[in-house]
Each structure stands twice: as structure tokens, then as C-alpha cells.
Amino acid sequence: MLQITPHQKFFLSIEPLDFRKGIDSMAAVCKQKLQADPMSGILFIFANRKRTAIKILVYDGQGFWLCMKRFSRGRLAWWPESLASNQVSASQLQILLYQGDPTRADIPSDWRRI
């Protein structure tokens, strides 16, 4: 089971991905283009060219999870355009998964002093 928690790392791939690719091909993209270890536990998020679907690849210590969400209506409202914005927080990812724009949302920080 996948859980999205504030202590996890998430990488959004800026370039669109051919959604015919499977786990092994996506892991190769993580290594070669994103220069990150696909077995590190980071959630790698990819979008298709039309931005009507996303795929998430993650390794949980025993194997890979490959999740896909195809939007029934519309497309993504936001997707990063530069390397500076390819890391997102857990709350920003939640907004993105519901086709929102995390850059416009007023999100409190994940951690605060008690």
C-alpha cells in the first residue's frame, strides 16, 4: 500500500513519458535522465504528453509499485517547467493528484514547532 507522507521525497519528471513504458523502462529513465536511484524509495511522478494521466513509480523495499491515474475529465492544471520546481511536498502532490495547481494553494508547512 502506498502512503504519501511529509517525510518522503517526490520527483516530478519535467519531460513527458511514453506511457507504453513499464517498470524496467521507467527505472532506466530515473537512472539516466533524472540521475536518481529508482530503488531509493523516492516517488517518481511522470505525466503523459497531453497531461491527461500520471504514473508513479516507487520501490518499497520488496519490489516496485507502478500506479497510474487517468483523469476522467480535463488535464493537469500545473506541471513543472524547470528543474528548480521538480521537487514537491506531500501536500503539493495531493493537490496535483486532484488536478489542482499547488503553486496557487495556500499550504501550511508540513512541520511546525509545538
Q: In this structure, which amino acid lies at residue 87?
A: Q
* Nearest in space to 30 (alpha carbons), one of 1, 9, 51, 4: 9
The confidence score (pLDDT) of residue 61 equals: 92
Average pLDDT, the chain: 88
**38-76 as b/e: b if 16+ CB within 10 A:** beeebbbbbbbeebbbbbbbbbeeeeeeeeeeeeeeeeb
> In which band, very low, low, confident or very high, does the pLDDT at 110 lie, cut at 50, 70 and 90?
low
- What's the pTM value of the predicted model, to 2 decimals? 0.86
pLDDT tens-digit map of 47-69: 999 999 999 999 999 999 999 99
| Residue ranges covered by each domain of the chain | 10-97
Q: In this structure, which amino acid lies at residue 13?
A: S
pLDDT tens-digit map of 24-37: 999 999 999 989 99
φ/ψ (deg, to 5) at 37: -80, 115
